[in-house]
Amino acid sequence: QVQLVESGGRLVQAGGSLRVSCVASGRTFSVHNTAWFRQTPGKEREFVATIGWSGGNQYYADVVKGRFTISRDSAKNTVYLQMNSLKPEDTAIYYCAGGRRSGYYTRSDDYDYWGQGTQVTVSS
């Protein structure tokens, strides 16, 4: 099994920046790609960004492209999401996800492991 633990979420003002982290433990060799999703009450979980576990290209949702950057530190088994120019509509619980298949996926069903989420709140 793989355990994912997110951290770093907090209250931030609009226009500000924030970095959230996701640390993986357990059978991390089975993880071939990671992603960030977000969810607000009453809505479906929304894809934000993805990156291969061994590096490679990143892929972003249009609504965050140019503002958010996903990266990973293999030595620390950690994936980051740097969020700049935050907007109130970015307010959500941010979830880290890991998938056993290589490739880049935007559907939550394509991921096998999930963290518990970290709350990001952007005030106007």
- Taking only the tens place, the pLDDT of each residue in 100-123 is 988 889 999 999 999 999 999 999
Confidence band for 95, pLDDT divided at 50, 70 and 90: very high
Confidence band for 70, pLDDT divided at 50, 70 and 90: very high
Share of the chain above pLDDT 70, in %: 99
pLDDT above 70 (res 55): no
Provide CB contacts within 8 A for 110, sequence distance 6+.
Answer: 99, 101
Backbone angles phi, psi at 30, to 5 degrees: -85, -5
| CA distances (Å), origin 124, targets 14, 66, 88, 89 | 5, 20, 6, 10
